[in-house]
């Protein structure tokens, strides 16, 4: 009677494995053409992010992202081109290109749905202006927005107020800083370097004036949402302290425009700041407050989902992305 030993089983397994390995290149070679025909899907990125803030919910919505030449010419305008490029390279950033994102924020208080800024508008530029189309994904309808807060009147914040000549948020009332509205609604803005933006204000903001509440810094949008003077980027830009049941986040608008350039070099001039010295002073003051009080913030041009913290780093600061701090 023939018996099969463990050694025979092991030997057979090895031989079978060797045969399979010998055949493997043939199988791979045959499958390569089919794999090569698989189409690429292109990049994908999330567009909606939501956290709980006490009795509120805070939702950030990506209006879009554009890639531009820079950072030279946008950040560090009071620095040499070589120094700006070196700083970018030292921080693992491209020396000749950067990305700018746009992120409106919705605060749901349970009674009001409050939208902060409206993005670019669908027709202003490619790869942005997606707020209205993305509201559904976030769980909202445009006619559910009860208050629209305008932090300042640059086009990427007011472009989405109107779509096809009609208000995008037909049942909303509007809130804006008095100084900001007075500056941009003036007919003086319709010539010179402010001409293009001034015309957009006349088309998108001024027609809504009858539904607007005009704030002074320190006044509330509603209880728990208080305005803060962060002028410099524009003459009347407002940030907002948002607080509920002991939880807090600060919406900084365009005070801080880049997670590296603006935090680690807060004194560098930024092209988009209308008063560059005041913009830098406001940025440093705001960052110092956020770091000292260890409070979360959301900035319109921070990396999506745009919620994070500020950590002191010597005489400058460091961006710390939000992970689970507001979830526990």
Give the C-alpha separation, 69 to 127, whole Å. 16
Q: Which neighbouring-strand residues pair with 310?
A: 319
* CA 321, chain centre distance (Å): 12
Give the residue with greater pLDDT, 321 vs 22: 321
Give the C-alpha separation, 274 to 284, whole Å. 16
Architecture category of domain 48-252 in CATH: 4-Layer Sandwich (3.60)
Strand order in the sheet with 225-229: 220-222, 225-229, 238-244, 247-253, 296-299, 307-313, 316-321
Tell if the pTM clears 0.85, that is, is over it.
yes
Q: Model confidence over 246-283: pLDDT tens digits?
A: 999 999 999 999 999 999 999 999 999 999 999 999 99
Under the banding of pLDDT at 50, 70 and 90, the label for residue 35 is low
Q: Model confidence over 130-144: pLDDT tens digits?
A: 999 999 999 999 999
Under the banding of pLDDT at 50, 70 and 90, the label for residue 27 is very low
Q: Model confidence over 203-213: pLDDT tens digits?
A: 999 999 999 99
Residue 48: is its pLDDT beyond 90?
yes
Give the C-alpha separation, 83 to 255, whole Å. 23
Give the C-alpha separation, 115 to 60, whole Å. 10
Residue 290: is its pLDDT beyond 70?
yes
Residue 13: is its pLDDT beyond 90?
no
Q: Which of 120, 129, 117, 126 is nearest to 251 (CA)?
A: 117
Residue 222: is its pLDDT beyond 90?
yes
């Amino acid at each position: 009677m023939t018996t099969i030993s463990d050694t025979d089983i092991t030997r057979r397994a090895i031989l079978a494995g060797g045969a399979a390995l010998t055949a493997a290149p043939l199988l791979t070679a045959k499958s390569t053409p089919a794999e090569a025909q698989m189409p690429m899907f292109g990049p994908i990125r999330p567009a909606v992010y939501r956290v709980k803030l006490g009795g509120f919910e805070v939702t950030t919505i990506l209006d879009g992202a554009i890639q531009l030449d820079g950072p030279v010419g946008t950040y560090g305008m009071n620095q040499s081109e070589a120094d700006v490029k070196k700083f970018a390279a030292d921080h693992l950033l491209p020396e000749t290109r950067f990305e700018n994102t746009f992120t409106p924020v919705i605060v749901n208080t349970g009674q009001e749905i409050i939208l902060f800024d409206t993005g670019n508008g669908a027709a202003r530029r490619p790869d942005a202006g997606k707020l209205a189309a993305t509201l559904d994904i976030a769980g909202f309808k445009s006619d559910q927005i009860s208050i629209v807060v305008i932090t300042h009147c640059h086009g990427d914040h007011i472009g989405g107020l109107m779509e096809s000549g009609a208000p995008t948020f037909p049942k909303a009332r509007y809130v804006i800083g008095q100084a900001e509205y007075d500056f941009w609604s003036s007919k003086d803005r319709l010539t010179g370097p402010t001409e293009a933006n001034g015309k957009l204000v006349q088309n998108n903001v001024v027609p809504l004036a009858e539904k607007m509440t005009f704030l002074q810094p320190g006044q509330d949008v509603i209880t728990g949402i208080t305005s803060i003077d962060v002028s410099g980027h524009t003459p009347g830009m407002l940030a907002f302290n948002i607080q509920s049941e002991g939880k807090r986040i600060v919406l900084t608008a365009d005070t801080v425009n880049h997670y590296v350039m603006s935090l680690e070099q807060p004194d560098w001039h930024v092209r988009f700041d209308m008063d560059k010295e005041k913009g830098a002073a406001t940025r440093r003051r705001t960052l110092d407050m956020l770091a000292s009080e260890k409070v979360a913030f959301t900035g319109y041009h921070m990396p999506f989902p745009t919620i994070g913290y500020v950590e002191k780093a010597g005489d400058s600061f460091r961006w710390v992305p939000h992970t689970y701090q507001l979830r526990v």
